[in-house]
Structure 1
Amino acid sequence: MEKIIRWGILGTGKIAKAFATALREVPDAELAAVASRSLDSATRFAAEYGAQRAHGSYQALADDPGIDAIYIATPHAMHHENALMCLQAGKALLIEKAFTLNRREAQDIADLARARKLFVMEAMWTRFQPAMQEAKRLIDMGEIGNVRNLQADFGFPADAGPEHRLFNPALGGGSLLDLGIYPLSMAAFFLGPVRGVKGYGELAPTGVDTQASFALQHEGGALSVCTCSLNTRTPTTLTICGDKGFLRLHGRFHHTERFTIGLNDGSEREFHFPRIGNGYAHEAMEVGRCLREGLPESATMPLGESVELMGVLDQLRAQIGVRYAVD
C-alpha cells in the first residue's frame, strides 16, 4: 500500500461534499476521483473539491486503477448494489450508514469482502470522534463503575415530501435507518452486542416510520433505551450510567466535542476534545491506518457488527410494521 491513500467518492450529494471537504485535512490522503451518473455533476464536483478525475458512471470509478478506497455516498437503498460492484473490481470500501437496507444485503457485502480479502467499514463517523474515543477509554477504565444502562435520542423535524428519501420506502426511508442507527450503534459500542430488542413506532402515510422508540438488552445484561424521530427536535444527548456515576455526551452527541462525568458524591467534571474540521476526517484516517497495516477490518467498527446491527434494525422494522421491497 502506498503512503498516500487515493480516494474515490461514489456519489455527489450532501454527504459526499462533507467527506470531500474533510479529506483536505487528512494526512497522506488525496481525492483521486469522483463518480456520478451524470458526467456534468461529477465534473462540477471534481472542480469544486479538487478531484483529479471525474467519471460519468459508478462502474467507471470502480474500475479506476488509480483508486485505493471508495467512499460510497449514495442513498442506502443503493449501497448493496454499489458495494458489490466495487468489491468485484477489487476496491476497499467505506460505506455510508445505514450500511444497507437489511441484514441479508449486509451479509452479502461481508461475504464478498472476506472472500476477496478486501477491507470494508461502515462509515459510523461518531465512533471515531475524539470525544467519543476518550469517553469509551474512561468508561473502560472504570471511571463510572459497572455500566448498566444507556439512554440516547436523535431527532429533528423533517420538512420533506413523500417522495423524499426520508419518507420514500423505495429509498429505505424512515427514522430508524436514517437516525436510529446512531443511538443503536453507540449503545452497542458502549454496552456490547445486542441480544434482545423491543420497539414501537409511528408510521407515515407512505408506510415508513416517522419516529420510533426501542429498548435493547445487551449480552452482559445491561439495558439501553433509544429514540429517533423525523417529526420532533430532540436534545440528541447520550448518557451512560454506572454504579459510580454517569457520563453524558452533550448534544448533538453524534459529533460532540464535550462530555460530562458526574459521580455519586455530586462532583462533576467537563471534558473537551476538539474534532478535526467537520469531523469526517477521523473515519477516513481510520481507513487509511487499516489499509497501511493490512488489516481486514476496523476493530472500532467491525464488519460483523455492522451486519448484526442491520439485523437488529430488521427486527425493529418488523415489530413496528415497516417493510421494504427487498425484505
Structure 2
Amino acid sequence: MDKVIRWGILGTGKIARAMAEGLRDAPGAQLVAVASRSSDGAQVFGAEFDIEHRHASYQALADDVNVDVIYIATPHTQHAENALMCLAAGKHVVCEKPFTMHARQAQAVVALAREKKLFLMEAMWSRFLPAAQEAKRIIASGEIGLVHQIQADIGFVATFPPEHRMFNPDLGGGALLDVGIYPLSMAAFFLGPVSQVQALAEMGATGVDEQVVFSLRHAGGGTSSCACSVRTLTPTEMTISGSLGRVRLPNRFYRPDHLIVEPMDGERRVIDTPFTGNGYTHEAIEAMRCIRAGLLESPIMPHDESVALMANLDAMRGQIGLVYSADQA
C-alpha cells in the first residue's frame, strides 16, 4: 500500500472546506491538522471533519511534526507569505490559485521550495480533472488537427457587499485574479506558454476590475480569446478549435463531467469524464503521487508555468490600471 500522506489545511473558508471534502476520497490521504486565525474557527472546522490537531495560528500548523503537506486556502493576498512560512518549516505545499499576487512573489516561493527540496504545486484543480486530461489526449492524438484557437469565458453575478473580498482591492479583489485565472491557465494548458497578452476591462466602484476581456498569443502558435466577469452569468464554456475539428468543455468548463468532440468529417460524440468526489480529489492524488516519487513539482502544473501565468496577469493588470498594495511587496 502507498505510504499515507498526512495533510494540514491552512485556512477554514469555503475553499478549505472543499479540499477537506476532496481529501476524503483520495486514497492514502489523511487530514490530520487545520489552522485558523482563531481557536474557535479551528475547533469548529476540526469537529466538522474529525481533524485531530486544531491550531489557533498558521505558524503552529507549519511547525506541526504530524503534517507532511499543507494546503494553503487563505485569500490570495496571503498566499506568498503563508507558502514561504510553510516551506521554511520543512513542509510540502499545495497553494490555492492564483498562486501569488504577482510574479516576483511567485519566483520567491518557487526559489525557496527548490532550495529546501520540497514539493510545491499551484492548486489549479481543473487541470487534474479527467475531462482536461482526456481533452489533452485527444489533442495529442491529432484527431482535431493542429489547434489554432481557444475561446473561453467564466462569469457569475457577485451579489456580495462592497467590503467583501471579491470587491476589496486590499484583499486582491476583482474578476481577473479570482476567476480570470481559469481561462488563462487552461488556455496555456492546451496551447502552451503565452507570449503576448492584451486586456480591456470595466472597473467597479471600489476600484477593482469587474469585467475583463483578454486575448492571448501563444509562443508555439495559436491564439486564445477569453473573458471573465463578476457582473454577468456567462456560458462558462471552453472551445478548443483545430484544423480538423474541435473539442468543447461545456457549461462550467472548470469542472466538467463530460466533453464533446466535433470532428470536421465524422460524427459528433459525447465522452463522459466523471470525476471523483467533488473534483478536488484529483489534485490531491497528483500531489501525493509526486511526493511519494520524490518529485519537487508536478508536470501538470510546473513551477515555471505558475510564475509565467502570474507574469501574464501582471501584464494585464498593467494594461487595465489595476494596482494592489501588494505590488510594492
Alignment TM-score, normalising by the size of structure 1: 0.98
Per mean C-alpha deviation after superposition, the further-off stretch among 297-306 and 263-272 is 263-272
Alignment of 1:8-87 (within 5 A): 8-87=8-87
Provide structure 1 residue ranges, at least 5 long, that are not aligned to the other structure: none
The one-letter code matched in structure 2 to 1:68 is D
The one-letter code matched in structure 1 to 2:72 is I
Runs (4 or more) in structure 1 with deviation over 2 Å come to none
Q: Separation in 2 of the partners of 1:151 and 1:19?
A: 28
* Residue 187 (structure 1) shift: 0.4
* Residue 131 (structure 1) shift: 1.1
Cα offsets for 1:153-172 (capped at 9, x unmatched): 00000001221111101000
Q: Identical aligned pairs, as a percentage?
A: 58
Q: Residue in 1 aligned with 2:150?
A: 150
The one-letter code matched in structure 2 to 1:237 is E
1:139 equivalenced with 2:139 (yes/no): yes
* Residue 265 (structure 1) shift: 2.3
The one-letter code matched in structure 2 to 1:204 is G
The one-letter code matched in structure 2 to 1:13 is G
Q: Secondary structure at the match of 1:213?
A: strand
Q: Separation in 1 of the partners of 2:36 and 2:250?
A: 36
Q: Residue in 2 aligned with 1:129?
A: 129
The one-letter code matched in structure 1 to 2:152 is A
Q: Residue in 1 aligned with 2:253?
A: 253
Alignment of 1:172-321 (within 5 A): 172-265=172-265, 267-321=267-321
Q: Is the 8 A contact 2:77 2:326 kept in 1?
A: no
Q: Separation in 2 of the partners of 1:109 and 1:171?
A: 19
Q: Secondary structure at the match of 1:295?
A: coil
The one-letter code matched in structure 1 to 2:37 is R
Cα offsets for 1:89-121 (capped at 9, x unmatched): 010000001111111111110111111111110
Q: Separation in 1 of the partners of 2:167 and 2:279?
A: 27
The one-letter code matched in structure 2 to 1:249 is L
Q: Residue in 1 aligned with 2:117?
A: 117
The one-letter code matched in structure 2 to 1:104 is R
The one-letter code matched in structure 2 to 1:124 is M
Q: Separation in 1 of the partners of 2:237 and 2:266?
A: 20
Q: Secondary structure at the match of 1:253?
A: coil
Q: Secondary structure at the match of 1:274?
A: coil
Q: Secondary structure at the match of 2:254?
A: helix
Q: Is the 8 A contact 2:176 2:228 kept in 1?
A: yes
Cα offsets for 1:190-236 (capped at 9, x unmatched): 00000000000000111110010000000122000000000001110
* Residue 260 (structure 1) shift: 0.6
* Residue 318 (structure 1) shift: 0.6
The one-letter code matched in structure 2 to 1:48 is E
The one-letter code matched in structure 2 to 1:262 is E
Q: Separation in 2 of the partners of 1:113 and 1:89?
A: 11
The one-letter code matched in structure 2 to 1:163 is E
1:100 equivalenced with 2:100 (yes/no): yes
* Residue 267 (structure 1) shift: 2.5
* Residue 266 (structure 1) shift: 5.7
Q: Separation in 2 of the partners of 1:12 and 1:230?
A: 23
Q: Separation in 2 of the partners of 1:208 and 1:314?
A: 14
